[in-house]
Amino acid sequence: MDSFLKRHWFLVGIAAAVSCGSLLPEGGLALRSSGYAIPLLVAAVLAISGFTLDTSRLLVQGKNLRAILLTLCTTYAIAPLLAYALAISWGPALDGAGSQGALFLEAMMILAAQAGTLASALAMTAIARGNQELALLITVLSSILTAILTPLVLEFALGEIVDIPIVDIMLRMLLIVVLPVFVGQLARKALWKRAKKAATVVKILPRVIILSFLYTGFSAATEHLHEAPALALRFLGACLCLHLTLLLWTWLSSRLLGLTAESRTAVILCGSQKTLPNGIDIWTRFFGQNPYGALPLALYHVVQLLVDTLLLKRLEASNNAAAGQDRQETPS
């Protein structure tokens, strides 16, 4: 039992966060309504992620333009288009601003407009023996571009339904996302050797904070989902369909572009995943009137962790096979 908890404590934590958010939502509601807790926690996660990124390896992958452009296009164009289509076809009818259909679309677009994950895609690429340097470069570029592209995606998708404070969102993303990552990088140069002694804390703390975001998201949606349980199933179905479609798209398109197995792994994982912390902050700051705003963010995070974990063995086998073939073809 102890060994199981050590290996899978985060999955157990996800189950606990979802359960507590549904049964004991008061703590999550207090966290959301505090006004400062969520932004500080988001900044903390991103600063720690920036602290752990070894950007000295980035230049090696700068010429891998096909993989980089494919992933960024998937993150900020393909994913929003798919999410919009799913929301229109899968969600309730659009009956004007404030209707269930409009709230459903708004919540799905908050999710789809986000950058890729800072930590999990990079860690999973390493586990699957994929191109870690490429995954790192994509992660950094996606996080920097989110300050411009996330607000533009929201404006394009929702501008006719709700008023999007595009400049405010850009400034917010710079302050809460980009700045903490750069601060983390600066701190890494001065403190990395000392921080190695606290490697366990540095590794675990962001995941604990992410569990608090899951708890907050489910807490905020609980009351409304009890009134409309069918809506929760629609969100779950849309999130699952979106993630599986993005996995299929990145796999097919990366093969058609002739990417190596290792680079395909980085593209598949980085292009299909969405960050939770950024979305939670945008929801609480700009779309707080939407009670469902955090639900697809939380559901998608659970879906991507579970589905992609199941894919890792297959991706690793593909990369090992490609590496073995390369060794055979290399003259001794």
Helix, strand, coil percent values for the chain (each to nearest 5): 85, 0, 15
Alpha-carbon distances, residue 178 vs 92, 294, 328 (angstroms): 35, 21, 44
Tell whether the model's pLDDT for residue 197 goes beyond 70.
no
Enter the tokens of residue 304: 């991507």
> 139, 118 in Cβ contact below 8 A?
yes
Domain 37-52+68-314: top CATH class: mainly alpha
> Residue 127 and residue 318: Cα distance in Å, rounded?
13
> Residue 78 and residue 67: Cα distance in Å, rounded?
15
For residue 78, give every residue at least 6 positions away whose Cβ sits within 8 Å of its Cβ, in sequence order, or none: 246, 249
Predicted pLDDT of residue 256:
97
Which has the closest alpha carbon to 177: 294, 42, 298?
Answer: 42
In this prediction the pTM is: 0.83
Phi and psi dihedrals of 161, rounded to 5? -100, -45
For the stretch 9-45, pLDDT in tens is 877 888 888 888 888 888 888 887 777 787 888 888 7
Average pLDDT over residues 134-150: 88
Average pLDDT over residues 118-137: 84
Domains of the chain, by residue range, sit at 37-52+68-314
Predicted pLDDT of residue 1:
61
For the stretch 52-70, pLDDT in tens is 777 776 677 778 899 999 9
Enter the tokens of residue 36: 């400062």
